Amino acid sequence: MTALKLRILFDGAMMGPGKADLLDHIRATGSIAAAGRQMDMSYKRAWMLVEEMNAAFAQPLVTSARGGPGGGGARLTGTGEEVLRLYREVVARSERAAAEPMAALEGMLRGRAPSEISGGK
């Protein structure tokens, strides 16, 4: 499968498919821990990525509350929703713009038997 993976590098920060997916999972689960589990990521790694994103943007992307009698949880802020929407829009526009040259590149690949393909490793 041919795919375009896009990372936006800001001065001192980055937004890419992994962080965007983490935001999607946090929105869906209401939990940083559950989002990390769905992505086969440790709780510590998920928290670190949330902290990176919150520090990089002028407003936090994710807010959280500790567990307890009322339960904890996490949610995307309005800024988090907008950052995620804009990132997905950049990716969608890039995919449309790159479709023709990517197809041309794919057509230039050497034909290989499935057992010969390393999966990029």
Is 9 contained in some domain?
no
pLDDT in tens, the chain (121 residues): 888 999 999 998 999 999 999 999 999 999 999 999 999 999 999 999 999 999 999 999 999 987 666 667 999 999 999 999 999 999 999 999 999 999 999 999 988 555 455 555 5
Q: Which domain holds residue 78?
A: 14-95
For the chain, how many structural domains are there in total? Answer: 1
Q: Count CB neighbours of 114 within 10 A.
A: 5
Provide the pLDDT for residue 89. Answer: 98
Is 58 contained in some domain?
yes
Q: Identify which of 1, 11, 17 has the alpha carbon closest to the alpha carbon of residue 92.
A: 17
Is 80 contained in some domain?
yes
Q: How many angstroms separate the Cα of 39 from the Cα of each of 18, 63, 117?
A: 9, 19, 25
**CATH code of residue 52:** 1.10.10.10
Is 84 contained in some domain?
yes
Is 41 contained in some domain?
yes
